Every structure is written in C-alpha cells, then in structure tokens.
Structure 1
Amino acid sequence: MRILLAGATGKLGAFLHTALADRGHEIVTVARSGGALRYDITDPAQVAAMYQAAGELDAVVSAAGHVPYRTIAEMTPDDYLAAFHGKVAGQIELVRQGISRVAERGSFTLITGVLAREPIPTGTAASMANGAIEAFVRAAAIEIAPQRVNAISPTVFTESLDAYADFFPGMESVDLARVAQAYIRSVEGAQTGQIYAL
C-alpha cells in the first residue's frame, strides 16, 4: 500500500515509518519540519496542498497532535482552542479532505490517547481532544464506507517514561512496538469505527 504518514518526525511517527515500511508499504512522510512533504495539518489550505503533492494513496496514518497541559484554573479559552486545533481539527481535515484522495476501500487511522478514558490532573485539554477524536471516528465510519476510519488510543509510551512517568502514576505503559501493531491492524484489517485502546 501507499501510505501517507502525518507526524512522521515524532517518536511514534518515526517508529511507525519503520514498522510499516518493513511490511512492504510505501510511506509518504509528512511533518511541519521534516519528512518528504513539509506541511502543517492544522491548516486546511496546507492539507489540500499536501494531498495534491502526495498523489494517489491507499491509507492515511496520523501520529500528529499537540495539546497544552495545565490545571483548569491556569487554562485559558485559547488553550482549549489550541488543543482542538492542535490535535482534533487537523486530523479531521485529514479525513474530510482525504475522502476524495484515498482509494475507494482505503483507510484512515487517527491518534487519540488514554486520557479520553483515564483523566489526570492538568489533562483536561488532552481529555477533551482525545474524546472528540474518538467520537468523530465513530460518526465518520458510518458515512465514509467503504473507506474505513479507526483510532489508536494508547497510554503513555514505555519509551517515554523517563519524561512522563510522573504524569501517569500507577498507569501501565505500552511499548511502541505494540502501538505499531494496532496501526497495522487498522491499516491492513477490515474493521472501521474502532478505538483500539492500548
């Protein structure tokens, strides 16, 4: 398959690039500051240009998204909007604009996270964004068939515990290899409207 990978330069994106390429897929990498294509998926005009540059695709995979972490008292309205734009709106644009750019039986795989179901202090923006993506996936799946859309919802990565363990006390971590298997299941499988919680 020919797969567009958004967020290709991050820890997860780099791992997915290798995992999907090792399975024989052709990967078109996209990121704001690196990759074969340099576009910001939070800008709808850049998403349109990205799809024009990418050409024919069988699947779109996202490992992109950024949200602020602060207590509710410290959060501002702009912080919540930043979370929406940084994680939700861009991934929605990947699907919305991608419907006409991806193969008839192609797929979209988005990224959410554990905070949609297991909140932490300072994580309200992330919980909001993750929950929005998961609701969008379920709704979009009933409209875009035979194309498919799923989301991967991992807990904290084992490989990131040195930086983030204190934010996720008592939560089990997940290896990037296991997260990559969920992406492979989404891309190569037949399910749609699924949230793969890891």
Structure 2
Amino acid sequence: MKILLIGATGLLGTAVKKELESDHEIIQAARHDADVEVDITKPASIKQMFEKVGKVDAVISATGDAHFGPLEEITPELNEVTIESKLKGQVNLILLGTDYVNDNGSFTLTTGIIMDEPIYQGASSAMANGAVKAFVKSAAAEAPRGIRMNSVSPTVFQESSEDLRAFFPGFEPVPLSKVATVFRKSVEGVQSGQSYEIY
C-alpha cells in the first residue's frame, strides 16, 4: 500500500513508520524535514499536501497539538489551539482528502485516553479527542467507495518524557510498539468506525 503518514517525525509517527515501512510505501508528512511539508491547521496546506502526493491507499494522522492547562486559566484563545490542530486539523484531513484515497482505502486519526479518563489540565485536549472519535464514527457510516475510517486512542507511552508521564498518575504506560501495531490493524484490517483504545 501507499500510505501517507502525517506527523511522521514525531514520537508516535516514528513508531508507526517503523511498524509499517517493511510492508508498505510510506510517504512522510510533517511541518519540517519530511517528504512533504504540511501544517494541518491550514486547509490550504492540507490541500497542497494531497495535490503533491496524489492518490494513496491510506492516510494516518499521528499528529495534533493541544493546549494543556488548569481549567480556570483556559481562555477561548488557548482553547482555539486545540480546536485548530487536534480537532479541525485532523477532521479536515478527511474532508479534504477523501478524493485522494483509493477505493477501499482508509483514514486513521489519533485521539487519547483522557477523553475517557480525565487528567488535571487536560480538559481542552479531552474535548478534541472526544469530538474526533464521534466524527470518525459518524463519518465512517457515510464514507464513499468502501473507504474505512477509524481512530486510535492510546494511553501515555512508556517512551514519553518523565515530565509528561507525571500528568498521568496511576496510569499504566504502554510501549509505542504496541500502539503502532494498532495502526497496522486499522490500515490492513476490515473494521470501520472504530475507536481502538489501548488503555
């Protein structure tokens, strides 16, 4: 398969690439230092990416910025960071990319455990994760040409920094290699409208 991997240079994207590259052609997309550059907060940038890459069999999003901070300090402007990237950025990959995905291809977006299990300072991110999950479930029911749509919701990674893991007290971290296999399941499998939760 020809797979467009967005966020390919990040921690998660690197693991997904390692999992899939021996069996598939991976086109890496990121803000910098990738086969194609993209800023998912800008629809024009997403369009340019798809036009440059052309037809693919699968699109994977392993990206999406989110604001973390105490609820009483979150302003509409800070919340907009999450909305523009984690939520709209990923949703727009489907809205703008469906015509570039071959028949029976797939989209896989990324959410996260805090949509189900809250953490301190995670309200903005949880909002986006839950919305992406709901969008994927509904959009999958209307997807044309046999295209499948799923989301992957991991918990904190074993490889995450100690500072990040400190926000998840009592959560059992999972290895990135395990999370990456779930992206393979989404790309190579048959299910659609699923939220694959690795908790």
Residue 90 (structure 1) aligns with: 89
Post-superposition Cα deviations, 1:160-184, rounded to whole Å, max 9, x if no partner, equal: 1523221000011111011001000
Partner of 2:175: 175
Letter in 1 for 2:72: A
- Match of 2:8? 8
Which residue of the partner structure matches residue 139 of structure 1?
A: 138
Correspondence list, 1:15-94, <5 A: 15-22=15-22, 24-94=23-93
> 1:56-84, CA deviations, whole angstroms, 9 ceiling, x for partnerless residues?
20000010111111111111001111111
One-letter code aligned to 1:153: S
Q: Distance in 2 between matches of 1:101 and 1:165?
A: 37
Consecutive unaligned residues in structure 2, runs of 5 or more: none
Per-residue CA deviation, residues 120-170 of structure 1 (Å, 9 max, x unaligned), is 110000110100100111111101041000000000001115232210000
Unaligned runs of 5+ in 1: none
Provide the C-alpha distance between the structure 2 equivalents of 1:78 and 1:144, rounded to a whole number of angstroms.
33
2:50 aligned counterpart, secondary structure: helix
Length, aligned pairs only: 197
2: distance between equivalents of 1:69 and 1:106?
34
Q: Does 1:123 align with 2:107?
A: no
Instruction: Give the SS at the match of 2:193.
Output: coil
What's the TM-score, normalizing by structure 1? 0.97
Cα RMSD of the aligned pairs, angstroms, is 0.9
Q: Secondary structure at the match of 2:160?
A: helix
In the TM superposition, what are the counterparts of 1:99-110 in structure 2 within 5 Å?
99-110=98-109
Structure 2: distance between partners of 1:113 and 1:77 = 22
TM-score, L = length of structure 2: 0.97
Distance, in Å, in 1 between the alignment partners of 2:179 and 2:163 is 19
What letter is aligned with 1:172? E
Which segments of structure 1 move beyond 3 Å, counting only runs of 4 or more?
none
AA of the residue aligned to 1:16: V
Amino acid in structure 1 at the alignment position of 2:125 = A
Per-residue CA distance 1:14-38 (angstroms, 9 max, x = gap): 111111102x100010001121001
- What residue identity is the alignment partner of 2:42? D
